[in-house]
Amino acid sequence: MKLWTGRLSGEIDHWATQLNNSLWMDQRMAKEDVIGSMAWAKAIFNVGLITKIEFEQIISGLEQINSLFETDTFVFEPSDEDIHTAVERKLTELIGDTAGKLHTGRSRNDQVATDFRLWVKTAIQLLIQWIEDLQHTIIQRAVTDIETIIPGYTHLQQAQPILLSHWWMSHFWSLQRDKTRFLNLLTEVSSMPLGSAALAGTGFPINRHQLAEDLGFSSPAPNSLDSVSDRDFAVEFLFATSLLATHLSRMAEMMILFCTQEFNLITLSDHFSTGSSIMPQKKNPDPLELIRGKSGVLLGKLCGLMTTLKGLPSAYDKDLQEDKQPVFESFDTLEILLKVMNGLLSSLSVNTKRGLELIHPAMMATDLADELVQLGVPFRQAHHAVAGVVKTAELLQLPLDQLPLSEWQKVNPLFEAWVFRILDPGQSIHRHQAWGGTAPKAVQEQIRHARKFLAS
Amino acid sequence: MKLWTGRLSGEIDHWATQLNNSLWMDQRMAKEDVIGSMAWAKAIFNVGLITKIEFEQIISGLEQINSLFETDTFVFEPSDEDIHTAVERKLTELIGDTAGKLHTGRSRNDQVATDFRLWVKTAIQLLIQWIEDLQHTIIQRAVTDIETIIPGYTHLQQAQPILLSHWWMSHFWSLQRDKTRFLNLLTEVSSMPLGSAALAGTGFPINRHQLAEDLGFSSPAPNSLDSVSDRDFAVEFLFATSLLATHLSRMAEMMILFCTQEFNLITLSDHFSTGSSIMPQKKNPDPLELIRGKSGVLLGKLCGLMTTLKGLPSAYDKDLQEDKQPVFESFDTLEILLKVMNGLLSSLSVNTKRGLELIHPAMMATDLADELVQLGVPFRQAHHAVAGVVKTAELLQLPLDQLPLSEWQKVNPLFEAWVFRILDPGQSIHRHQAWGGTAPKAVQEQIRHARKFLAS
Amino acid sequence: MKLWTGRLSGEIDHWATQLNNSLWMDQRMAKEDVIGSMAWAKAIFNVGLITKIEFEQIISGLEQINSLFETDTFVFEPSDEDIHTAVERKLTELIGDTAGKLHTGRSRNDQVATDFRLWVKTAIQLLIQWIEDLQHTIIQRAVTDIETIIPGYTHLQQAQPILLSHWWMSHFWSLQRDKTRFLNLLTEVSSMPLGSAALAGTGFPINRHQLAEDLGFSSPAPNSLDSVSDRDFAVEFLFATSLLATHLSRMAEMMILFCTQEFNLITLSDHFSTGSSIMPQKKNPDPLELIRGKSGVLLGKLCGLMTTLKGLPSAYDKDLQEDKQPVFESFDTLEILLKVMNGLLSSLSVNTKRGLELIHPAMMATDLADELVQLGVPFRQAHHAVAGVVKTAELLQLPLDQLPLSEWQKVNPLFEAWVFRILDPGQSIHRHQAWGGTAPKAVQEQIRHARKFLAS
Amino acid sequence: MKLWTGRLSGEIDHWATQLNNSLWMDQRMAKEDVIGSMAWAKAIFNVGLITKIEFEQIISGLEQINSLFETDTFVFEPSDEDIHTAVERKLTELIGDTAGKLHTGRSRNDQVATDFRLWVKTAIQLLIQWIEDLQHTIIQRAVTDIETIIPGYTHLQQAQPILLSHWWMSHFWSLQRDKTRFLNLLTEVSSMPLGSAALAGTGFPINRHQLAEDLGFSSPAPNSLDSVSDRDFAVEFLFATSLLATHLSRMAEMMILFCTQEFNLITLSDHFSTGSSIMPQKKNPDPLELIRGKSGVLLGKLCGLMTTLKGLPSAYDKDLQEDKQPVFESFDTLEILLKVMNGLLSSLSVNTKRGLELIHPAMMATDLADELVQLGVPFRQAHHAVAGVVKTAELLQLPLDQLPLSEWQKVNPLFEAWVFRILDPGQSIHRHQAWGGTAPKAVQEQIRHARKFLAS
């Protein structure tokens, strides 16, 4: 069944039908389509376009259809070109001609935009939940690993010692920004298109504020033209998912390094590793690599839809049919990525001693400079003095903690025996107590602060 | 001057220097760098790292530097590799060795992240202002053109008559969403990195909450590792600018069509048109085309930075130096696009009668169906009946308003003389009175509603 | 069955399995996997790793598997994680332990890269065929519409009259470039990875040149490390498909304009149009809009895979599993787009008189200037003179052909009665006879030239 | 000076001028513009549109202009809106009204497309040269490091031993593909737009084949409409540069890992390293990180221009003005990246013994399995047997080479004393002698093969 036969003659071309049909994709919004139609039935009943009896027939028919979807027993016909057509066709089979009254005063343009927003609202709520689940796991790890010291890196070069907990927590905050982004989007998505009809607004005196309330939207969209062709929420969803995936990718990239033989800071559980078809000794961090790989794909979906939107005039065009597939697929991918990252974090083991093994005394160079500063040396000169000592040690092929004090003093006489105390990584960690720093006290404070951002 | 000589030997390679230097770009944050340094001087003074006198020397030196920037008389040296180096080099020239104390407890990593956020905050406020300026102009146009009827399009096919004002206003709301997006970003950008040092947090007991307040941030970032490598705000800025540009592009695309000889609904002012080097009769809408073209370029900047971020591990890496150029360039481009669109809208003339000329009676087909619905015909049948009439008229090569009533009644006997009244575009417009519709009353209500979203 | 059990303990996590499995996608290369395995069996037989009998067993088993795929009766097991595993599992069922000898000296890394290249080779050949089919149709249209004059546009403003045939042919050449691009890619894709094993090359003295010949590759890849992680051909495929789609999109965009009521130059067949669920009079060019919309999506796939590749170190990483889905989907989309465009072009009707109706006399302004040039006026002055006449006509609100000669001569006395002859569009067309121009003679020559580029 | 005054009244708006002017960008094609104009002067002289004397005047004037550009003494006027205007304005100053004859029969549309193609041709030739320079350096490194064994990685896990030379050479081949891509593009770019005028072809009987020969193009473009709006070569340039940058990024990423303290396989020269403003011990691989970062930016440029093109109808539109900036910038960036990578490779030092230190005996697991295969065990079982041994060794916390033979034989009695010989990395390397493998002999053959692809 097509909703628009009547004027055009002849069959649609086979390949054009392939191109045009969206049922395979939009049937995912079956529930939303039924809910939207129920609310619309009430709205047109309220202005007398259908009788009480007709209203009840329609609602009852839609409820039956809903059950069919819920029990996965709805049978689509080859002629159903989209979900709206399928629902109306079935409704006609169930309640007869009255079904033909349901589409009064609305268009598929406002209908699909409404269904899609309802779907996205639910999707956002689920994503927020899964993000929080991962944040909980991160906090758990941070609590567990509070005594593990590892090298902190910049430019992937060893920089200063940090707590592994501090590293875990750094990912809490990028996820927190993602959550905020999704919450902001929830507000944007809460503007209701229904009642905009094809473009000019519905031709009947529908109370759209009431309708919005019935459907759980915060308000009806204020301009019918804009509202049928606005897909900002879809690209914003793709941006938010793509950035979330980028955060997971950056985390995964570092963990892939952490589980190389060379770094060897963590070991993944066998439940999150795979082997090789040719090299019997291999244990590969495939899930982390796929998290990294998928995040590129998700960025592509954002670019794709943005490019499509950018190529349009300001009105409803059929190109907008391309909006749903990237959104659905990004959502599905992220469900997997978030759950895999969660399970993988919970189950990995930390090689607690390896961090200290990796730390070279030179990583305390900043602390040495800071100590000179405490003695009154301007930082710039202190930095220079310590750099000189590092260079000397390198020339003599000695680690800093084996460089005789006399060599230190050649560079700057202010160096005294205290330098060897400063070379202790634990001591270094404790110096960084300001808000947001890596000292145990500061990290514990950070964890307390973080917990406030979790709903449960 | 380099801030890190002391350990490495030899000169940096010529081409590596080309690649590495960022001064040509980051000098744009000169003012922010000075402001950040002033606040930092106060912070280290508060914990006793510098004396009152040193503090005053530093502030006075920085003020002099600020004046040099403001009067455009600061002279950069070839050796200044970035803005931070240039400022510290100059400060040393002005106040001597005390300058070397300013960098105590901070790193260029937190410094540049802070400068950049300060810059973006200002940029957002300016963009919001320019968006509002454009929204004012749109409202003005909507008020002026409230009586002009034009065809409304879907699929670029004539669909239903609308008010030109309604079309103008549709763009008010996409801009409103852009504004909200920038306001949300303002919140995100208000988290202060300063005091995170290179990665592990500052080694001194700086009061970062006070520091944040001094610099106008809402709070200090809660994790030093995250905060030196977080560029979410930069990609979000690029997303917001790219989507804003997409909105301008869609508007421009439609206006380019509106000023073709074929549509001929508007005429651009000569101040916003150009001619041809070969065709003397041409008057081209170049500014609109460039708005459309630039919006593709802006999307590229978003993709570019996202791709760079996605390729990183979770820590500070030098790749992040690529963050500023796309942000600065997107801002500059949008300033031009917003101002051009504003001037162009104010100065164009509307060909008020052309809209009605273009409207075919068949555009009132939905109204005819709606009227049948009022007579009790289910919408689906009403739609079918009207489609039949349209087809008949096409076969007879008659416009609908010249099709004899007898032909109408062959399709459905409910059609009566009222059909000819319904074929009037003005009548059609008035039917769409529900919230958000195109009826004059609804559009006026929409304009009132819109005004509430403007600050001034 | 997993090919790598033996070392790792425990089951893979449910969600990690979801992430990891690629069978749903890579089973599309079933035929290529079997062919590759047959050639490999021959290669290891040639160096004595399997006996003649074992070789024959393996070939016979693989032939049975191939039949199962061809008759769509191969049954996958839940444990088959990818197509390679499925084939080896089945082979074991069919011929027992000998199956376990097939994987000698190869890895899934070189195997999948080989399968994928074989698939892409076939895909390219099909695309080239479909492009040629469309080129044939374009030539047919060009022949049919050789007498139809339409306005040519720049900046979407009427510029100079052209033959519709010339416009059709302009798309022949962009498709020709696409074809060349795919042919170049065919050369690149003809480098064989098989024998590279996991990364270091196969451990056995396989004759890879012979193997390449057997599989129809032009040569074996010269570096095993590069060849298992090289996906240039995949991104180049995505670039070529994306640019081809962009060409179709630009063509579609113009045709969407051509079938607006305002331009009205062409009418789509009902087989390639759709209607509206609310507006009974609508006839929408949905297929053209979807061609336009899909081309954005295809660009996204290119960006996505490029981003994924860019995030990798130079070696095989699991992220590369994301390479196939975008390639398969882009191919499927393009098959539809090319076939729809082909059918749509063949079946549309041209409104042959409309072009001349739309042409304003001012479109001959360049011809007037050219004529003045023939009289010795420097072009720059001639251009200025004609522009003056156009302006005068506009002020007097007269079309150029109704402007009295006296007014022409006020601008430049060289204007004579000949100006009115020059205002004829047909005359204008005939002036453009140089190679590549729009004169009928030149277009016919162009068509002859074009035919040389078609295989059949 | 504007080339199109005459018809439009009034000044162009300040901001529209900002948007419209392209001189700051297109002056980069000054030389190409002059060369193109010289050839055009000859072409119009050949058909009698200018006299011999006028021709000589024009050529002489253009030569003077060329000298001004070459000596950097050409003075632009604020009114020069693009390079074509500037040249014609200056020509008029130099030779008077005859200058106004030069633009006869051409348009800026075909002029700019021709200039741009000329520029790109030169750019491609330079890029090819710089790529070859880098390939030479890679071969040099491969020759130098032919005895250095390092771990080969897949999934960033140690996989099998390889020669460092083999790793270097893997990058030779990706660059070779880049070169081929640029060579193919050189063919595409050799189609000449000049003579297409604005869109319909030139109105004079110019011999475009001769003109193409004069300008070094292979042929004149066969369709004027297509040729003024075809920017395929520009996006293809951006694709080729973006993929080349991706190759450099992947190489850089691995080298960043190789110079971590954990891997420590190579040490960058101080000429290609930088220090830290806060951590005196740091030596950062900034140039490699910037190569990695820039490659994301280049991908953005490709996406940007593709998006702009995709949004156009099939004709010349002003949006195309956005084509040059990304091409120029990508070229400039790649010059730096190629030269930095070249210098960095030549000057780094290899820590020759570190590779063997890193290699665990388990990396020879595949060789053990291959050896069992030689003894008649099917590979699948051999793989399983070795995996069992690896697991045993892990449980006993022994490296494979210290696991007693008895433990081996518990897993499979075929294991004998030979296993310990197989555990030698050097022995492993030598096994991989097939074409493209990592054995010294194969790598030397590979180097010989590679040299054939270098021009000099």
We report the CATH number of the domain holding residue A338 as: 1.20.200.10
pLDDT value of residue D274:
87
Q: Average pLDDT of chain A?
A: 95
Nearest to D379 among C100, C209, C391 (CB): C100
Query: Are A274 and C12 inside 8 Å of each other by CB?
Result: yes
Do B436 and A220 make contact, defined as CB atoms within 8 angstroms? yes
**Is the separation of the CB atoms in B294 and D321 below 8 Å?**
no
Residue B371 lies in a domain: yes
Tokens 């950049």, residue located: B116
- Burial of residue C329 (CB within 10 Å: 0-12, 13-18, 19+) is middle
- Exactly one of A155, A277, A349, A456 is catalytic; which is it? A155
Taking the C-alpha atoms of residue D339 and residue B321, their distance in angstroms, rounded to an integer, is 20
Last residue of a domain, which of C313, C329, C356?
C356
Indicate yes or no: CB of B313 within 8 angstroms of CB of A257.
yes
pLDDT number for residue A79: 86
Q: How far apart are CA D328 and CA C287, in angstroms?
A: 37
Is B348 in the same domain as B375? no
Distance between CA atoms of B194 and B215, rounded to whole angstroms?
A: 10
CB contact at 8 A, A134 and A342: yes
Question: Which residues 224-253 on chain C approach chain D with CB closer than 8 angstroms?
Answer: 224-228, 230, 232, 235-236, 239, 242-243, 246, 249-251, 253
C-beta atoms of D8 and B283 within 8 A: yes
Can you tell me the distance from the alpha carbon of C333 to that of A325, in angstroms, rounded to the nearest whole number? 13
Phi-psi region of B252 (alpha: psi -120 to 50; beta: other; left: phi over 0): alpha
Between chain A and chain C, the number of residue pairs with CB atoms below 8 A apart is 269
Is 70 exceeded by the pLDDT of residue B440?
Answer: yes
Q: Are D449 and D172 in contact (CB under 8 A)?
A: no
pLDDT band (50, 70, 90) for residue C87: very high
D193 touching B (Cβ < 8 Å)? no
> Which helix (H) or strand (E) covers residue D191, if one does?
strand D191-192
Q: Calculate the alpha carbon distances from B389 to A10, B405, C259, C282, D26 in Å.
A: 18, 10, 22, 13, 58
10 Å CB burial of residue A71 (0-12, 13-18, 19+) is exposed
* Cβ–Cβ gap C225/D201 under 8 Å: no
Domain boundary, last residue among A327, A356, A385: A356
Residues A183 and A248 occupy one common structural domain: yes
According to DSSP, the β-strands at A349-350 and A266-267 are antiparallel
- Are the Cβ atoms of D155 and A278 closer than 8 angstroms? no
Nearest CB neighbour to D281, from listed A260, A365, A384: A365
Rounded mean pLDDT, A267-289 = 88
Which CATH number covers residue B18?
1.10.275.10
Distance from the D282 Cα atom to the nearest Cα atom in chain A, whole angstroms: 7
State the amino acid at position B278 in one-letter form: I
C156 touches chain A (CB under 8 A): no
Cβ within 8 Å, pair C336-A197: no
Lowest mean pLDDT, pick from A204-208, B10-14, B67-71, C200-204:
B10-14
- The span from the CA of C293 to the CA of C273, in Å, is 16
Q: What is the 3-state secondary structure (H, E, C) of D249-308?
A: HHHHHHHHHHCCCCCCCEECCHHHCECCCCCCCCCECHHHHHHHHHHHHHHHHHHHHHHH
Give C343→chain A minimum CA distance, Å.
8
C200 at the A interface (CB within 8 A)?
no
The pLDDT value given to residue B79: 86
The first and second tokens of residue B380, run together, are 């689906």
Q: Do A309 and A258 share a structural domain?
A: yes
Number of Cβ pairs < 8 A linking chain C and chain D: 378
Both tokens of C175, joined, read: 């498709």
In this structure, the answer to whether residues D241 and D298 fall within a common structural domain is yes
Any catalytic annotation for residue B276?
Answer: yes
Shared domain check, A249 and A131? yes
Q: What is the pLDDT of residue B7?
A: 62
Residue B29 has pLDDT above 90, yes or no: yes
- Residue A451 is predicted with a pLDDT of 98
Q: Which of B157, B280, B390 sits opposite C280 (nearest CB)?
A: B390
Residues of C with Cβ-Cβ distance to A280 under 8 angstroms: 4, 6-7
Mutate which: A90, A95, A154, vs B, most B CBs within 10 A? A154
CA angle at A279 for the pair A275 and A283, rounded to the nearest 5°? 30
Please report whether residue A61 resides in a domain: yes
Q: Is residue C37 part of a domain?
A: yes
In Å, how far is D43's CA from the nearest CA of chain A? Answer: 39
C153 within a domain of the structure (yes/no): no
List the subunits that have 3+ CB pairs under 8 angstroms with B: A, C, D
d(CA B115, CA C38): 63
State yes or no: is C14 an active-site residue: no
Nearest CA in chain A to B320: A155
And the tokens for C103? 């994987």
In sequence order, what DSSP letters do the residues of D32-69 get, joined into one string?
A: HHHHHHHHHHHHHHHTTSS-HHHHHHHHHHHHHHHHHH
| 3-state SS assignment for residue A110 | helix
With 0-12 / 13-18 / 19 or more C-beta atoms within 10 angstroms meaning exposed / middle / buried, residue D209 is: middle
Q: What is the pLDDT of residue B6?
A: 60
Q: What is the pLDDT of residues A76-90, one digit of tens each?
A: 998 898 999 999 999
Whichever domain contains D365, its CATH number is 1.10.40.30
Q: Are D207 and D342 within one domain?
A: yes
Look at residues B108, B318, B74, A24 and name the one whose alpha carbon lies nearest to residue D279.
Answer: B108
Helix-helix angle D232-258:C164-189, to 10 degrees: 30
Q: Which domain holds residue D433?
A: 361-455
State the pLDDT at residue C279.
Answer: 80
- Model confidence at B91, pLDDT cuts 50, 70, 90, reads very high
Could you give the maximum distance between any two Cα atoms of chain D, in Å?
A: 100
C277 close contact with A: CB closer than 8 A: yes
Closest residue in C to B279 (Cα) is C366
> How far is Cα C389 from Cα D432, in angstroms, rounded to an integer?
81
Chain B interface includes C395 (CB < 8 A): no
Cβ proximity of C225 and D170 under 8 Å: yes
HSE (side-chain half, CA atoms, 13 Å) at C2 = 18
**Domain co-membership, A344 together with A377:** no
d(CA A39, CA A36): 5
Best to test chain A binding among D153, D157, D267 (most A CBs inside 10 Å): D157
> pLDDT tens-digit profile of D326-356?
999 999 999 999 999 999 999 999 999 999 9
Is residue A28 assigned to a domain? yes
pLDDT for C7: 62
B191-192 vs B219-220, strand pairing mode: parallel
Q: Hey, which chains touch C, using 3+ CB pairs under 8 Å? A: A, B, D
* Residues forming a β-bridge with C192: C220
Contact D446 C223 (CB under 8 A): yes
**Dmax over Cα atoms in chain C, in whole Å?**
100
Give mean pLDDT, residues C313-342.
Answer: 96
**Nearest residue in D to C308, CA atom:** D246
Share above pLDDT 90 across residues of chain C, in percent, rounded to a whole number? 91
Confirm or reject contact between B313 and chain A (CB < 8 A).
Answer: yes
Residue with tokens 């079918």: B384
Q: Using CA atoms, how far apart are residues C155 and C152, in angstroms rounded to an integer?
A: 10
Residue B397 class from Cβ within 10 Å (0-12 exposed, 13-18 middle, 19+ buried)? exposed
Token reading at B38: 């002033």
Please report whether residue D5 resides in a domain.
Answer: no
Same domain, B279 and B398: no
C-alpha D249/C-alpha D256 separation (Å) is 10
Q: Does D48 touch chain C (CB under 8 A)?
A: no
CB D226 within 8 A of CB D136: no
Report how far residue D222's alpha carbon sits from residue D49's, in angstroms, rounded to the nearest whole number: 23
b/e string for C404-423 if b means 16 or more Cβ within 10 A?
eeebbeebbebbeeebeebb
**Closest residue by Cα to residue D390 from D369, D375, D372:** D369
**Percent residues over pLDDT 90 in chain A:** 91
- Cα–Cα dist D58/D101, whole Å: 9
Quote the tokens at residue C17: 């399995």
Mean pLDDT, residues B214-238: 98
Q: Which residues contact B71 (CB under 8 A, 6 or more apart)?
A: none
Residue among A281, A322, A356, A381 with most chain D CBs within 10 A, to mutate: A281
* pLDDT score of A5 more than 60: no
Taking CB atoms and an 8 Å cutoff, what residues of chain A touch B303? 299, 303
Residues in chain D: 456
Range with the lowest mean pLDDT among A3-7, C84-88, C195-199? A3-7
Instruction: Give the per-residue pLDDT at D81.
Output: 86
C12-23 average pLDDT score: 89
Looking at D304, D338, D356, the residue that finishes a domain is D356
C390/chain B closest Cα distance in angstroms: 6
Residue B106 contacts D, CB cutoff 8 Å: yes
Nearest Cβ partner for D261 among A158, A261, A282: A158
Structure tokens at C101: 């000898």
Residue A93 has a pLDDT of: 97
Using pLDDT thresholds of 50, 70 and 90, give the confidence band for residue B282: confident
Name which of D151, D280, D386 is nearest A390 (Cβ-Cβ). Answer: D280
> Is the same domain home to A68 and A41?
yes
Rounded CA separation C173/B424 (Å): 47
Contact C88, C102 (CB under 8 A): yes
Judging contacts by C-beta atoms under 8 Å, the chain A residues touching residue B171 are 226, 314
Helix-then-strand count for chain A, H and E: 19, 6
Counting runs of H as helices and runs of E as strands, what totals does chain C give?
A: 19, 6
Residue A232 sits in the same domain as residue A171: yes
If asked whether residues D195 and D318 sit together in one domain, one would say yes
C186 and C77, same domain (yes or no): no
Give the residue, D335 or A9, on which the prediction is more confident. D335
- Tell how far CA C338 is from the center of its chain: 8
What distance in Å separates the CA atoms of residue C390 and residue C408, rounded to the nearest whole number? 9
Residues of chain C contacting residue B283, judged by C-beta atoms under 8 Å apart: 157
Using the predicted structure, report yes or no on whether residue A361 has a pLDDT greater than 60.
yes
The label of the residue with tokens 């909980």 reads A136
Q: Give residue-wise pLDDT tens across range A171-200.
A: 999 999 999 999 999 999 999 999 999 999
The H or E element spanning position B157 is: strand B157-163
C307 touches chain B (CB under 8 A): yes
Contacts of D421 (CB under 8 A, 6+ apart): D427
The overall pTM is greater than 0.95? yes
At residue A7, the pLDDT reads 62
Considering the domain boundaries, does residue D3 fall inside one? no
* Residues of chain D found within 8 Å of residue A360, distances taken between Cβ atoms: 261, 281
Does the beta-carbon distance from A434 to B195 stay under 8 Å? yes
Segments of chain D scoring below 70 in pLDDT = 1-10, 456
Answer whether residue A8 is part of any domain. Answer: no
How many folded domains does chain A comprise?
A: 3
End-to-end CA distance of chain B: 48
Residue-level pLDDT at D4:
58
Residue B160 contacts C where some CB pair is shorter than 8 Å: yes
Q: Which two tokens stand for residue B442?
A: 């609804």
